Structure 1
Amino acid sequence: MGRNLTNAVIAILVPLPSILFYLSFLNHFDRNSTSPLWSWCFHHPLLLANLFFFFNVNVFFWVISHFQSSHWMIDLYWTVIPVLLAHYYATHPLAQYNSWRSMIVILLTWVWSIRLTHNYFRREKWQWGAREDWRFTDMSRQYGKQWWWISFFAVYVSQQVFLIGVCLPLYAVHAVDKPLNLSDFVAAAVCLCGIVIAYFADTQLHDFVTRNQKLKEIGKPIVANLERGLWQYSRHPNYFGEQLWWWGLVLFAWNLGHGWTFIGSLINSMCLVYVTVLVEQRIPKE
């Protein structure tokens, strides 16, 4: 079995422990259940989501990464976990929500995920796990022999903070049953704008990189900077679109009285500023 097929099979099967456990919970739980385990799962949907993430992603992905000597899978699952969380929050027995708002948010989350997944595979030349994020590679060189345990926190635990955090509005949407109103359409428009901007920005960047690779192959000078399309207005329009998407989700939650969920997007935006600096420093070296 080739590496590409092996990685594809692993990526498809790896969330099964959480999915099977959750389906078992849905099949066996009722409100009069005397099982302490099912009762706890019922009363603590957010904590249960964090436990799924900790054991199935932090621990399981980390163990697999040692066998493969690569942390590629967390990058791919950034596009998948929000979809899983959206459906988890919508199907949890404690959920209460407006069905139209839920459908709009889940549909938008699927569109966002498909766009980002497409961009991931296009960037990786349609290969599963061809490489890991360059930041992880740099950190592995920096920490050397200590990287085996530091990676658990730097790669996986940190991702739990980000992903569970930015997806908090998905929980809020499925925790309040309030009629759809104009604010929801504003939030949906912001989310959709973010998806569209990120798509065109990433496509323009992909075309630019591809053209430069072709110029390099035939011995012609490459173009140093991308200054066309959306890139003439911003140095990182793809990041702007992605942040617009997450803050659009916050607007949904804010309208439902769960403005506190902005904390996840705030942390994500602040970290993105740091990542942007790293990218800017890396460009001259390439």
Structure 2
Amino acid sequence: MNPTAFGIETGYPQMADQPRWGRRNILNLCLLLWVPIPALACSLILFNWFPEGEIPIDPGWRWPQNFNQAAALLLHHPILTVNLLFFLFVDIQFMVIALIQKSTWLIDPYWTLLPPLIALFFFLHPLADPQGFRAAASLFLLSLWSLRLTSNYFRREQGRFGFREDWRYAKMRKERRFFSFEQFFVVYVAQHGMLVGLSLPFWAIAFFAPPLGFGDAICLITASAGLLIAGLADNQLDAFMRENKRRIAAGRPKQWLLESGLWRSSRHPNYFGEQLFWWSIAGLGVVCGEAWVIVGTTYNSIILAAVTVMTERRMMAVPERTEAFRAYRARTSVWIPWWNRSRQA
């Protein structure tokens, strides 16, 4: 799901044993670069199907009788088009690759790349007419979000591709006999709703352009704050993990919990930063007069709440960490950074 979550190894040798320029790694890198090309090509063909300024009127929800009617229908209904492209080139294409490789790894790096690609589809659409500053600022913040999570992915994978998949899916693959078929819905359809849903505010920003106002300022400031919080939390967690590697290499016992920095005030400050960012982006959709776009953010929040429970159960399952984590959970807020109750004792 989200690349900030840790992966576990799924039948592959240890990561350190995998050559960065081995055949498997090069193949997976080529896959990573290839998979968006068909959707990008289809988008370019659609955007240039009609001469500039000559797009026909919306043909309505009738079955198209020819290519021109189909192109007009898709151009006048960009959300439909995005969902169709996602279904063909993510749900189905990624599913076929997962069946061949027996791993859903490819969705992890694309979690960070698909929202910017969807936003660009909306902003570059020939019928789009966004307010310039709102569009530029929101796309800039989205690019920072993508850069942060993409760098996290490459930092975690150490320049290797496809040797690990999200621990939740690896666990399901091990425990469920028919997961190879279930994964279409559990992995791809579920994340279809999350990724397209999160990107809906960019449709509102691209196609509706009310004047800038106080609401824009609030949303852009809080989105920036969310990115800052999530980035700090990620870096603190990475430093903690690196220190544990050094401790193990030196023959010293590892630390089981991170309780400093933002992690002293929240058990999942990175999740809080993510939610603050995306709800702020959803706020821009509301500012543009399309409040219904918060449905995608709401769905994402519900899923992340479930993921939080799964993650904490996994933390508690390690005997050496159980009691310490139980005490940490009792005194520390789950998402929102708040006063640690040990300070009040």
The TM-score normalised by the length of structure 2 is 0.80
Taking the TM superposition and a 5 Å limit, the aligned residue runs for 1:113-262 are 113-144=146-177, 146-262=178-294
Aligned-partner SS, 1:174: helix
- Is 2:32 the partner of 1:11? yes
- Is 2:132 the partner of 1:111? no
Counterparts of 1:267 and 1:71, CA distance in 2 = 22
Query: What's the offset of the Cα at 1:217?
Result: 2.6
Q: Which moved more, 1:237-246 or 1:180-189?
A: 180-189
Structure ranking higher in helix proportion: 1
Which digits, 9 at most, give the CA deviation of each residue in 1:138-196, with x for residues without a partner?
Answer: 1112212x111101110100001111111111111112121222221211111111111
What amino acid is the match of 1:252?
L
What amino acid is the match of 1:31?
I
Query: What's the offset of the Cα at 1:250?
Result: 1.0
Q: Which runs of 4+ in 1 moved over 4 A?
A: none
- Is 2:69 the partner of 1:36? yes
Counterparts of 2:195 and 2:76, CA distance in 1 = 22
Counterparts of 2:256 and 2:184, CA distance in 1 = 37
Query: What's the offset of the Cα at 1:20?
Result: 0.3
- Is 2:117 the partner of 1:96? no
Aligned-partner SS, 2:207: coil
Counterparts of 1:217 and 1:66, CA distance in 2 = 37
Query: What's the offset of the Cα at 1:114?
Result: 0.4
Query: What's the offset of the Cα at 1:96?
Result: 2.0
Aligned partner of 2:114 in structure 1 is: 81
Counterparts of 1:283 and 1:110, CA distance in 2 = 31
Query: What's the offset of the Cα at 1:130?
Result: 2.7
What amino acid is the match of 2:115?
P
Which digits, 9 at most, give the CA deviation of each residue in 1:77-116, with x for residues without a partner?
Answer: 1100010011100111222211111111111111110011
Which residue of 314, 326, 336 maps to 1:282? 314
What amino acid is the match of 2:243?
R
What amino acid is the match of 1:164?
V
Query: What's the offset of the Cα at 1:12?
Result: 0.9
Q: Which moved more, 1:265-274 or 1:153-162?
A: 265-274
Q: Which moved more, 1:263-272 or 1:153-162?
A: 263-272
Q: What root-mean-square deviation, in Å, do the aligned CA atoms of Structure 1 and Structure 2 show?
A: 1.4
Aligned-partner SS, 1:129: coil
Aligned-partner SS, 2:28: helix
Which digits, 9 at most, give the CA deviation of each residue in 1:115-147, with x for residues without a partner?
Answer: 110011112223222311000011112212x11
Counterparts of 1:114 and 1:262, CA distance in 2 = 24
What amino acid is the match of 2:40?
I
What amino acid is the match of 2:55?
R
Aligned partner of 2:4 in structure 1 is: none
Aligned-partner SS, 1:78: helix
Residues paired across the two proteins, number: 285
Aligned-partner SS, 1:132: strand
The TM-score normalised by the length of structure 1 is 0.96
Aligned-partner SS, 2:176: helix
Percent identity reads 39
Question: Is the radius of gyration larger for structure 1 or structure 2?
Answer: 2
